[in-house]
Structures are given as structure tokens and as C-alpha cells.
Amino acid sequence: MSANLRQNKPRLLLMGQRRSGKSSITSVVFHKMPPRETLFLESTTRIQKDSMHSFMDFQVWDFPGQLNYFDPTFDAEEIFSGIGALVWVIDAQDDYTDSVTRLTASVANLQDIYPNINIEVFVHKIDGLSDEYKSDAFQDIRQRIEDELNDHGYKNPPVSYHQTSIYDYSIFEAFSKVIQKLVPPLGTLENLLNILVNNSGMEKAYLFDTMSKIYVASDTRPIDMEVYEMCSDYIDVILDISELYSYPRSESTRLGPQMVETESSVTIHDGTMIYLKEMNKYLCLVSVIKHPDAKDKKGLLDYNAHIFQDALNEVFARGWEKQENSEAAKEPAEH
């Protein structure tokens, strides 16, 4: 097996019928393409592989819609072994019968050989549908997939469903959920965020991957889309300003003396405060505080965010230390 295909990075495979929206999803989420420009994307003819370098390195493979990867001419082992998740994109504005049939056949094949693969179904392009039709289509697709899998004899296969569109936040929200299943210390991060929100009077706190705006973790309170959108928009504002005035970032923030990191807050018309603090080169904490006295408690917020930052860096430090140790092991020690 080719060495460069076997890199130790979780892989996300994007599959589905032609024109279902796979390339548009990767372009919008990972390459910041404005959604309208996807109208000019050409059909994919070869597997497109993107490597994402962030708090966690991973690869996204975009597959041409027309091919059947379980055909013996393809090396299924090469494609499916070691993947993090299979994302199946279904165009909800089109006839989805064939897509559902292909998906269930693929799930059935995978369940036999790689039973632990997460399968994530994106019921996509929901922007063009009325609210009523949207939920009917979603339920119908879900029911059909479950029925067909039951007929194949698969009880409770690991399939999750998301409603998505590149024209709103839903695609980022769905990708966040997919990535979170691949983040090893997710439970620890959620606990740390719970402690932070409880001690700081926050409504909700998110740990975002700054460049992609995928959130890596949030506290365990229910998600309010309005709050999520505010946080996500605020990152755009900060990124735009940083592009003009920022300085190069080091790989990670070390324990000990603080680096000078981006930190910003804004209070909007109804007194709600949005607070952002850079945690390291890749991650930022964004939270919303709906309390009239929030701006008077800024010192407390800063202090608690620093404590959270230290804890976060300890969680991730193991990975960085391991990397440094292995590099140090290659160099002779000096005395």
C-alpha cells in the first residue's frame, strides 16, 4: 500500500450522487469559497484529496459521484481502512431514490468489513425547500434508509443524519458534529467548558477551529442557533482585522509566561456580550454572555479564560510533547 496514502491522519470521505454538492461543501467549509461561486464548479472526475492542517490534521477526500467503489476494480482496503467517517451527501431537491439505494448498499458492504466506521448522511440543499417539505423529506430519507438497512438485516448501524446547506450555518454545524466524533479528548474539553460557563455566567461557549469555523467542542447546554451564528460571525470580524494587523503565530501556547494573544469583546444593542479569546495558533474560545453587567466583569472573564487556556494546553500538550520528544530523540544530546 502506498506510503503517502497511509499517513496517520483521520480521513473523511465525501460520497454521493453527481451534482449532489460534495465539492461545494469542501470548497465552502475548507477553502472559504463564497457559496454562490460553487455554481461554477466543474464536475469532479478524479478523487480530490485535501489535507487540513489544524489542531488535528485530517484529510478530506471528495469522490466523483458516478463511480462504484465496491466494484472489484477498486482497492476497497486502500479507500476505507482507517477512515474517520463516511459523509454521504443526498440532494434533497432532486429525486433521492437512487442515492438512498446506493447508500444502503454501501453501508451494508462497509458494515461487514469495517463495522466501526461512522456514517454521516447530509440531507443537503435544504435551503430551497419550504419548512414543511424540508422536515418531510428529511424524515422520509431517514425512514427509507433505516427500512432498507433493516431489510438487509442491520440493526442500529452507526448512521447519523444532518440537514445541510452551503447557504447558511448548517453545513458548519454538521461538519462540527462529524469532526467532534474524531477528537479524542472531547469529554474532557466539554467538562472544561462546562466549568468555564458555570463560573463566568456565560450563556454558551464554543471552542472553534479559527480558520474553518468548525467548532471542536462546546459546553453541554443545548445549542441555540442564534448564539452559534453570533459567535461564528464574530470570528469573521476578528479574522478580517487580523489579516490586516496580525503577527505570525507559534505552534502552541506554552505554559508559563503568556503569549500576546488576540482577545476581543463587543456588547450589542440588547446588552449581550460576545467574547473571543485566541487559545493557540489554531483554536479560539468564543462565548456569549447575556447579562447586563457583563462588561463590568471583564476582568473575571479574562482570568477564567486564562485558566481554561492553561487547562486546554495541558490537554493538547501531550501531543506536542510527543512530537518534540520524537524530534529530540533524533538529535544527539549535548552536555
CA distances to 123, 130, 175, 243 from 139, in Å: 10, 14, 20, 43
Q: How far apart are CA 323 and CA 221, in angstroms?
A: 34
**Min dist. Cβ of residue 105 to ligand GTP (A):** 18
Q: Is 44 in the site for ligand GTP (CB under 6 A)?
A: yes
**Min dist. Cβ of residue 65 to ligand GTP (A):** 3
Q: Is 22 in the site for ligand GTP (CB under 6 A)?
A: yes
CA distances to 110, 240, 305, 314 from 301, in Å: 47, 24, 6, 20
CB 89 within 8 A of CB 170: no
Would you give the binding string for ligand GTP spanning residues 87-126, x where CB under 6 A is met?
-------------------------------------xx-
Would you give the binding string for ligand GTP spanning residues 121-150, x where CB under 6 A is met?
---xx-xx----------------------
Q: Which residues are bridge partners to 61 per DSSP?
A: 13, 49
Question: Among 15, 55, 65, 230, which residue interacts with ligand GTP (rule: CB under 6 A)?
Answer: 65
Q: Is 23 in the site for ligand GTP (CB under 6 A)?
A: yes
**Min dist. Cβ of residue 262 to ligand GTP (A):** 31
C-alpha cell read off for 72: 472489484
Q: Is 39 in the site for ligand GTP (CB under 6 A)?
A: yes
Those residues with Cβ within 8 angstroms of residue 324's Cβ, 6 or more apart along the chain or in another chain: none
Instruction: Give 33 or 211: the residue with its C-beta nearer to ligand GTP.
Output: 33
CA distances to 14, 33, 52, 211 from 41, in Å: 16, 11, 21, 22
Would you give the binding string for ligand GTP spanning residues 257-296, x where CB under 6 A is met?
----------------------------------------
Q: Is 48 in the site for ligand GTP (CB under 6 A)?
A: no
C-alpha cell read off for 52: 487540513
In the numeric block, the cell 503517502 is attached to 4
Q: How far apart are CA 215 and CA 230, in angstroms?
A: 13
**Min dist. Cβ of residue 26 to ligand GTP (A):** 8
**Min dist. Cβ of residue 130 to ligand GTP (A):** 14
Instruction: Give 138 or 282: the residue with its C-beta nearer to ligand GTP.
Output: 138
> Contacts with ligand GTP in 2-21 (CB under 6 A)?
16, 18-21
Strand order, beta sheet including 48-52: 48-52, 58-62, 11-16, 83-91, 118-124, 159-163
What secondary structure does DSSP assign to 141-193, as a single string?
A: HHHHHHHHHHHTT--S-SEEEEE--TTSTHHHHHHHHHHHTT-TTHHHHHHHH
The 3-class SS string of 103-150 reads HHHHHHHHHHHCCCCEEEEEEECHHHCCHHHHHHHHHHHHHHHHHHHH
Question: Among the candidate windows 80-88, 96-104, 165-173, 317-325, which touches ligand GTP by CB under 6 A?
Answer: 165-173
Q: Is 43 in the site for ligand GTP (CB under 6 A)?
A: yes
Binding-site residue total for ligand GTP (CB under 6 A)?
22
**Min dist. Cβ of residue 102 to ligand GTP (A):** 13
Instruction: Give 127 or 148: the residue with its C-beta nearer to ligand GTP.
Output: 127
Alpha helix segments (H runs only) across the chain: 22-31, 76-80, 97-113, 131-151, 170-180, 186-200, 225-245, 298-330
**Min dist. Cβ of residue 192 to ligand GTP (A):** 34
Instruction: Give 92 or 192: the residue with its C-beta nearer to ligand GTP.
Output: 92
Q: Return residues touching ligand GTP (CB under 6 A).
A: 16, 18-24, 38-39, 41, 43-44, 64-65, 124-125, 127-128, 165-167
